[in-house]
Structure 1
Amino acid sequence: MRLLSRVLPVLVSLGLASCAGVKVGTNYDPAAVQRIDEFRTYAWLAHPQRTKDTRINNDITEAQVTEAVDRDLQARGYRKVDASANPDFLIGWQGAIDTRLSAETVDNYWGYPWDPFWGSYYGPSETYVRQYDVGTLIVDVVDAREKRLVWRGTAQANLGDSPSIQGNGGRIEKGVEKMLEKFPPKPEKS
């Protein structure tokens, strides 16, 4: 029981870390803020296949990303048009899944100062190594008239030990929603 009471907090913290939310970031061209604010129509760029990872390059993920972006933009008044209809901006996306390692060391110094056995056991520290995958989604906004990138949003989430396209738990939708909350960018205040 003593071992469980000392190891349980570490296991719970590892579990919570793996359930952490989606982290987002955005970047934009400050000189293009006024032009971006005038955007009303958009079209999709062709999705480049930059990786052979079938967890990213497949019809299901393509549909999840495009539907999430379309839903969010259209709810805010943007209108999707055909690329030949001279849209104001173009949308493209890319994705990646990277494998990472996490190491947690548990000190096996047992007991508390009020415990009668405090200081009586010094065991070797144990290090637990965990391998997990992190997914990154990048959404780009390109000024259709000038053909240049004017806004980029990134979303990153821990996919756990065995990511699959079917079990993404709504991370794509959450990531797109959180990213696009910052689109269009607000002008910087002087």
Structure 2
Amino acid sequence: MRLLFRITPVLLGLALAACSGIRVNTNYDPTAVERIEDFRRYAWLPQPQGKDARVYNDIIDVRVRMAVDQELKARGYQRVDMSEDPDFLVGWQGAIDTKVSVDTVDSFYGYPWGPYWSPWSSFYGPYGYPYGMGGPRTYVREYDVGTLILDGVDAREQRLVWRGTAQAELHRNLSPDALQKKINDAVHKLLSRFPPRPEAS
């Protein structure tokens, strides 16, 4: 097997791993920016309900709330009970979707590889074609993508004023510690954009 064909899947894996970081996006109500800046005390909305038991269960709920509580506390916010007149309410949603990645690599270009390479001896393969010349190869990969949505609701007006969405590839059979780190990193990236800071026009 040509060395190019042996190393191509490895290179693809490295490229995909490099692109598999956490992607975040946030949106907010522009009319509520000043109100959001005054938020100091928050309470949790009830645990969300969903059909996917991988996401909607007591363990994941505790992990998400723990990450959010730690991050908000570090930013000077205080968690209170719903009955203690919070400024805003926090809720979360989640999903795990299976994706398929198809990558085609044109292996026509390459170099002659061989321990005794010379311009005439090893350049030609067993069928008379130069090494590195061949048709494209297609690699198919199935993987899971986890989505975490955090919502900020104005407790006084009972309306959504901020939403953050984080997505990341989830390796199957992820350990509990690795899962918690994924959640912590996602929450950190999301809440680094809270309160919103509108760009100057």
**Normalising by structure 1, what TM-score?**
0.87
For residues 34 and 194 of structure 2, what CA distance do their matches in structure 1 show?
12
**Offset, 1:124:** 3.5
Aligned-pair RMSD on alpha carbons?
2.3
For residues 16 and 110 of structure 1, what CA distance do their matches in structure 2 show?
19
**Offset, 1:13:** 3.2
**Offset, 1:148:** 0.5
1:106–1:127 CA contact under 8 A, matched in 2: yes
2:144 to 108, 114, 133: 133
1:70-106 CA-to-partner distances (Å, cap 9, x unmatched) read 0010111110000011100000000001110001113
Percent of residue pairs identical: 52
1:74 aligns with 2:57: no
**Offset, 1:110:** 5.7
Gapped runs of 5+ residues in structure 1?
none
Q: Which amino acid aligns with 1:46?
A: P
1:136–1:154 CA contact under 8 A, matched in 2: yes
Q: State the secondary structure of the residue aligned to 1:170.
A: helix
User: Could you tell me which residue of structure 2 aligns to residue 54 of structure 1?
Assistant: 53
1:46-67 CA-to-partner distances (Å, cap 9, x unmatched) read 12212x2221112221111000
1:43–1:89 CA contact under 8 A, matched in 2: yes
2:130 to 120, 143, 147: 120
1:60–1:165 CA contact under 8 A, matched in 2: no
User: Could you tell me which residue of structure 1 aligns to residue 90 of structure 2?
Assistant: 91
Gapped runs of 5+ residues in structure 2?
113-117
Structure (1 or 2) with the larger CA radius of gyration: 2
**Normalising by structure 2, what TM-score?**
0.83
Shift of the 111–88 alpha-carbon distance from structure 1 to 2, 3 Å rule, reads: closer
User: Could you tell me which residue of structure 1 aligns to residue 168 of structure 2?
Assistant: 157
Q: State the secondary structure of the residue aligned to 1:62.
A: helix
**Offset, 1:39:** 0.4
User: Could you tell me which residue of structure 1 aligns to residue 115 of structure 2?
Assistant: none
For residues 165 and 58 of structure 1, what CA distance do their matches in structure 2 show?
17
For residues 86 and 40 of structure 2, what CA distance do their matches in structure 1 show?
8
For residues 115 and 181 of structure 1, what CA distance do their matches in structure 2 show?
57
